[in-house]
Amino acid sequence: MTKSIALCGVQDEIAHALERHGGYKILPFGDEPERRGDVKLGYFLRDGSLVELAVVGYPGAKGLAACDYLRTQNCELPILWLCDRQEFEPEAKRLGIGFCGTGPPNTEQTIQGILKTINMRGSEGGTK
């Protein structure tokens, strides 16, 4: 079965690299003037749709707010936050969010971090 990965606030370059990797159904939730990607993802999840992992790519406080919002929408959803500011890691842990410090942009390192998280989830028996 193909695993679905929901992306919000993730750079197009990373989304395209994940699509090329194969084996995963990528569900991008982009920002629009009237609604942010994380809000669109929240509505998608409320409709009962299942995803293996949500990846949040918004930086700093915007990313923290998106992760917090998604956590309130689904307390069991595995979330991985790609953030270039390491000082946000304790807040991610407090919310039960996986944190991937991206530092300077490095697409391949970020992709490997996402795939590692997906593989770890799979070895834990998946999600509910």
Does 117 or 100 have the greater pLDDT score? 100
What are the domain boundaries of the chain?
A: 3-123
| pLDDT confidence tier of residue 23, bands split at 50, 70 and 90 | confident
Which residues pair with residue 5 across a beta bridge?
A: 26, 53
Q: Can you give the pTM of this predicted structure? A: 0.83
CATH 3.40.50.10090 describes domain 3-123: yes
What are the pLDDT digits (tens) for 31-71?
Answer: 999 999 999 999 999 887 789 899 999 989 999 999 999 99
pLDDT of 101 reads 77
pLDDT > 70: what percent of the chain?
Answer: 86
